[in-house]
Amino acid sequence: MPGDGIGNQVIPEAIRVLKAVNFDADYIHADIGWEFWRSEGNALPGRTIDLLTKHKLGLFGAITSKPKKDAEAELDPKLRWKGYVYYSPIVTMRQRFNLDICVRPCVGFAGNPLNYIRKRPDGVFEEPQINTTIFRQNTEGMYCGVEWTNPPDNVRAALNSHPRFGAFAKVPGEDLAISVRIITRTAAERIVTAAFEFAKRKGFKAVTICEKPNVVRETSGMMEEVAKEIQASKFPEIQLWRNNIDAQLMWLNKNPESFNVIVASNLFGDILSDAFAGLVGGLGFAASGNIGDEVAVFEPTHGSAPKYASLNPPIVNPIATILAAAMLVEHVGEDTKAKMIWDAVGAVVREGKVRTYDMMRLTGGPKVIEQGAASTPQMTDAILAKLR
Ligand code: NAI
Ligand code: MG
């Protein structure tokens, strides 16, 4: 599912790498994105759902999404005013297949000039080896979609029954926006268990839960309670560390290398994973997996970057997508092939001869190639040359 914009540039690169490690698969194109919203009123057509249902493994590039007014204006005139509503195909995909486990590895490659560095009290700079994987609950929490501006009377009545709502009881409906944070025990158990299983498989000594149970007592409280129960009953050999989300972000600058596995609810996990990704190279390096019981979809974290989509040669960094492909390969148990890909990326970054524009801290645009940046396919070529 290349999708929109640079999704079409990076997915073919990842497939070149998958083929080069002899990953035994058929690659079936599936439609997703803005083009299908415009022409069909659905950014995730039913035929793509059918393909995912049948084949169960997806590699997804990126989609473009636009505000409501633009979405209506760009819809095929034949479809306009017929009740079509734009839904994010990613959110739809996550909900449709219950892809509730989001895994986001943030691993620093030695030699990456974008890596986080820290100044010691003696003035010497050091570059800690960051190897953090964030487990983000992907379907509930603040992103569950249950929200209102001007909530209907029955919702207001229910809210009025809560003693704390008294402070808002006189606010006019149109001035009142409400988003509900829902956490279910089942989903909490699944994300926490996934984090512990990963820690066990990779030999990490602790899992950190990042919530805010002292303030958001019910939902963050449920996350922490579940984490304590699962640790005690199933993973006594692995420690459970508990950090409040705000403190964890403050400590990002102190000792990010101390945290190998972090688990959090949806919004907190989203913020944490972007924060950690920023320490290890940013969007050009950030890969993620959306994993359910049946179906799993792997993707770079970045979007469709429309301003670079028509550059020839393409300039964007394919590494995030290549790492997403490596995650897919590991997900189906081909650990050796996955490691080959990670190692080849690591070798290219360490050598430092081939760098895309983002790795050189250049401003993106057609000029970056003459400024010495590698093009998208050149980066892949370098990775292919290191595979063994
Ligand atoms: P974006 O991630 O597309 O781009 C932001 C900036 O990050 C780019 O201008 C570029 O400087 C840099 N960048 C992104 N990918 C890169 C790569 N592989 N190599 C080097 N640099 C890279 O986010 P933006 O501009 O906010 O959104 C563009 C469109 O993408 C919007 O329509 C948005 O809704 C959509 N989007 C889709 C996502 C997805 O499909 N998962 C995620 C984020 C945004
Ligand atoms: Mg994000």
Report the percentage of the chain scoring pLDDT > 90: 95
302 alpha carbon, closest ligand: 1
Ramachandran angles phi, psi of 147, nearest 5°: -155, 160
Q: Is the pLDDT of residue 185 over 90?
A: yes
Helix, strand, or coil (residue 110): coil
Cα of 224 from ligand 2 centre, angstroms: 23
Q: What is the pLDDT of residue 69?
A: 86
How much is the average pLDDT of 134-154? 94
Residues in the chain: 388
Band of residue 253 on the pLDDT scale cut at 50, 70, 90: confident
How much is the average pLDDT of 174-195? 97
CA distances to 38, 114, 175, 236 from 79, rounded to whole Å, are 9, 46, 33, 57
Q: What is the pLDDT of residue 257?
A: 97
For residue 299, which atom of ligand 1 is closest to its CA?
A: 41
d(C-alpha 222, C-alpha 293), whole Å: 22
Give a three-class secondary structure readout of 58-105: EECCECCCCCHHHHHHHCCCCCCCCCCCCCCHHHHHHHHCCCCEEEEE
Q: What is the pLDDT of residue 194?
A: 98
266 alpha carbon, closest ligand: 2
273 alpha carbon, closest ligand: 2
d(C-alpha 220, C-alpha 281), whole Å: 30
Band of residue 145 on the pLDDT scale cut at 50, 70, 90: confident
d(C-alpha 228, C-alpha 154), whole Å: 36
Are 227 and 263 in contact by the 8 Å Cβ rule? The answer is yes
* Residue of 4, 270, 304 to mutate, ligand 1, most atoms within 8 A of C-beta: 304
Cα of 270 from ligand 2 centre, angstroms: 5
Cα of 90 from ligand 2 centre, angstroms: 12
CA distances to 74, 213, 300 from 303, rounded to whole Å, are 19, 32, 8
Give the model confidence (pLDDT) of 281-304 as tens digits: 999 999 999 999 999 999 999 999
Residues flanking ion ligand 2, Cβ below 5 Å: 270, 274
d(C-alpha 141, C-alpha 158), whole Å: 20
Cα of 63 from ligand 2 centre, angstroms: 14
Q: What is the pLDDT of residue 82?
A: 87
Q: Model's pTM, two decimal places?
A: 0.96
Cα of 202 from ligand 2 centre, angstroms: 25
Residue 378's nearest CA partner among 8, 16, 62 is 16
Are 308 and 364 in contact by the 8 Å Cβ rule? The answer is yes
β 131-137/101-107 pair status: antiparallel
* Residue of 138, 270, 302, 349 to mutate, ligand 1, most atoms within 8 A of C-beta: 302
Give the model confidence (pLDDT) of 333-388 as tens digits: 999 999 999 999 999 999 999 999 999 999 999 999 999 999 999 999 999 999 97
What tokens were used for 80?
A: 């306009």
How much is the average pLDDT of 114-141? 96
For residue 316, which atom of ligand 1 is closest to its CA?
A: 19
For residue 319, which atom of ligand 1 is closest to its CA?
A: 18
Tokens 């493994």 -> residue: 57
The region, left, alpha or beta by phi > 0 then psi within -120 to 50, assigned to residue 111 is left
Q: Is the pLDDT of residue 309 over 90?
A: yes
Protein residue closest via CA to atom 42 of ligand 1: 303
- What lies within 8 Å, CB to CB, of 238 at 6+ separation is 196, 199, 200, 204, 205, 206, 207, 231
Which residues contact ligand 1 via a Cβ below 6 A?
Answer: 62-65, 90, 283-284, 302-307, 316-317, 320, 358, 364
Q: Is the pLDDT of residue 91 over 90?
A: no
Cα of 175 from ligand 1 centre, angstroms: 32
How much is the average pLDDT of 200-205? 97
Tokens 């995912």 -> residue: 52
Alpha helices for the chain (secondary structure H)? 7-20, 34-40, 46-55, 68-74, 89-96, 153-160, 185-202, 219-234, 245-250, 266-279, 319-331, 335-351, 376-386
